[in-house]
């Protein structure tokens, strides 16, 4: 009887830890907006980049540039929302399959992973289009200032990384 309780406790602990790990890793693995891509409809800067909202605040955009930037956002907003919706649907289907009874192997989940990879690639492509449109609005002086500030941000990020990941 005691052995059965121990096995049940161990099994329960493993399931709970697995669920927790899946919950924590899946947004990162599948590009959730909180972790880089997306944010304000795919307008995060990513590694070493500059978020779109930051561009509007720190590059002294003219009223016309601000208006054009808003128009660019609106042009791409529906595409970003649709892609995020499709990704949520696929993730939900994958999670359902994961927790259904019966055998499950990597091949069973592969089609979901391929769909997610396709949607993520489309998000990246759409972000690239949007960034190029915004970049075309900027003057050479604004681009130079953005480059300087990007370098400062990268330097700060590297300093923070070295503080938190110091090797002893």
DSSP assignment of 110-153, as one string?
HHHHHHHHHHHHHHHHHHHHHHHHHHHHS-HHHHHHHHHHHHHH
**Mean pLDDT of all residues in 50-54:** 64
Quick one: 64 and 25 in the same domain? Answer: no
Domain count, the chain: 2
Percent of the chain with pLDDT over 70: 68
Q: Give the HSE-up count for residue 35: Cα atoms under 13 Å, Cβ half-sphere.
A: 10
What does the angle CA 21 – CA 43 – CA 92 come to, to the nearest 5 degrees?
A: 35
Q: What is the pLDDT of residue 52?
A: 65
Closest alpha carbon to 38 in 136, 92, 110, 119: 119
Domain co-membership, 23 together with 38: no
Q: Are both 21 and 84 inside the same structural domain?
A: no
* Cα within 13 Å of Cα(125), Cβ side: 8
CATH at residue 51 = 1.20.120
Q: Does residue 7 sit in the same domain as residue 80? A: no
Confidence tier at 126 by pLDDT (50, 70, 90): very high
The pTM is what?
0.63
Query: 10 with 41, same domain?
Result: no
Q: Do 4 and 50 belong to one domain?
A: no
CA-angle at 38, arms to 37 and 40, nearest 5°: 140
pLDDT of residue 149: 87
Verify that 17 and 98 share a domain, yes or no: no
Torsions phi, psi for 34 (to 5 deg): -65, -20
**Residue numbers of the domain that contains 7:** 1-30
């Amino acid at each position: 009887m005691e052995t059965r309780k121990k096995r049940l406790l161990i099994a329960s602990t493993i399931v709970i830890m697995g669920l927790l790990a899946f919950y924590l890793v899946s947004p990162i693995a599948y590009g959730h907006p909180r972790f880089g891509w997306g944010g304000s409809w795919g307008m995060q800067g990513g590694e070493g980049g500059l978020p779109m909202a930051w561009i509007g605040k720190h590059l002294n955009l003219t009223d016309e540039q601000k208006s054009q930037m808003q128009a660019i956002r609106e042009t791409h907003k529906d595409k970003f929302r649709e892609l995020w919706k499709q990704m949520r649907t696929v993730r939900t289907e994958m999670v359902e399959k994961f927790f259904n009874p019966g055998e499950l192997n990597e091949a069973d989940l592969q089609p979901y992973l391929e769909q997610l990879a396709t949607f993520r690639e489309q998000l990246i492509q759409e972000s690239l289009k949007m960034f190029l449109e915004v970049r075309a609005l900027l003057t050479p002086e604004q681009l130079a200032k953005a480059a300087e500030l990007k370098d400062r941000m990268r330097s700060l990020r590297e300093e923070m990384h070295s503080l938190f990941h110091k090797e002893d």
